[in-house]
């Protein structure tokens, strides 16, 4: 048996006339998804994939940020860390911070000692009383559109003297290019899981 052969399925001709209607309906679904209701379309398997990836790369916490309805903020919709009650619901202006740059450019970001980066917003750090040492942020897509960011961080305490920040205590190991690839792969899996579930909802395979 040739195990390298490919299944070659063509679109079912009877479905082709319905494609515009399906696309229109999925667009409406996408527009109706907001930071407030996003978790209702995520099942436990999807969240498990996220948590396990964040744990595997030694992230202290990971988050999903969604663009709000007014297109003015990224809102923390999910967080895997011990401070999730403080993080979820936090609004980051789309004009500030590295995660906003990731949305605008649709390019992934990875940096260690990110607290020294002038583009980094410290607003959430001030709320948590911690400093971000390392960060990975990747664009988050579903239904063929960038909807926000998936990010993860390593945290530490720093002491600022004369305008210079110095780490206090043990320094985190930082993130590697392999860690970035793991988060990008997970973001693609999450995208496909959401797209599949929304498509199944549109054609009556399942219910949200």
pLDDT digits (tens, 9 = 90+) for 93-131: 999 999 999 999 999 999 999 988 999 998 998 888 888
In the structure, what pLDDT confidence band is assigned to residue 67 with cuts at 50, 70 and 90?
A: very high
**Could you tell me the pTM of the whole model?**
0.90
Give the separation between CA 50 and CA 55, rounded to whole angstroms. 9
Answer yes or no: are the C-beta atoms of 105 and 137 closer than 8 Å: no
Average pLDDT in the chain: 92
Which two structure tokens, joined as six digits, stand for 191? 């995208």
Give the separation between CA 78 and CA 81, rounded to whole angstroms. 9
Residue 21 has pLDDT above 70, yes or no: yes
The residue behind tokens 């396990």 is 52
Give the DSSP H or E segment for 146.
strand 145-161
Burial class (CB in 10 A: 0-12, 13-18, 19+), 100: buried
Give the DSSP H or E segment for 137.
strand 131-142
Does the 40-202 domain belong in CATH 3.30.450.40?
Answer: yes
Give the separation between CA 65 and CA 168, rounded to whole angstroms. 29
Per-domain residue ranges of the chain: 40-202
User: pLDDT tens for residues 144-203?
Assistant: 999 999 999 999 876 666 666 666 778 899 999 999 999 999 999 999 999 999 999 998
Residue 36 has pLDDT above 80, yes or no: yes
- HSE, side-chain direction, 13 A CA sphere, residue 81: 19
């Amino acid at each position: 048996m040739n195990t390298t052969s490919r299944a070659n399925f063509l679109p079912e001709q009877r479905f082709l006339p319905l494609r515009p209607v399906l696309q229109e309906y999925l667009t409406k679904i996408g527009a109706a998804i907001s930071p407030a209701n996003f978790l209702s379309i995520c099942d436990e398997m999807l969240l498990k994939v996220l948590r396990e990836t964040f744990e595997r790369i030694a992230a202290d916490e990971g988050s999903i940020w969604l663009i709000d309805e007014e297109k003015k903020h990224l809102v923390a919709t999910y967080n895997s860390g011990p401070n999730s009650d403080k993080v979820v619901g936090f609004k980051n202006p789309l004009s500030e911070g590295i995660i906003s740059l990731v949305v605008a450019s649709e390019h992934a970001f990875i940096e260690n000692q990110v607290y020294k980066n002038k583009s980094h917003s410290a607003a959430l750090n001030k709320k948590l009383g911690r400093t971000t040492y390392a960060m990975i942020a990747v664009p988050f897509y579903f239904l063929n559109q960038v909807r926000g960011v998936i990010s993860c961080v390593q945290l530490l305490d720093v002491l600022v003297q004369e305008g210079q920040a110095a780490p206090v205590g043990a320094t985190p190991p930082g993130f590697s290019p392999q860690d970035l690839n793991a988060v990008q792969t997970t973001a693609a899996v999450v995208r496909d899981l959401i797209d599949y579930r929304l498509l199944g909802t549109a054609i009556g395979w399942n219910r949200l």
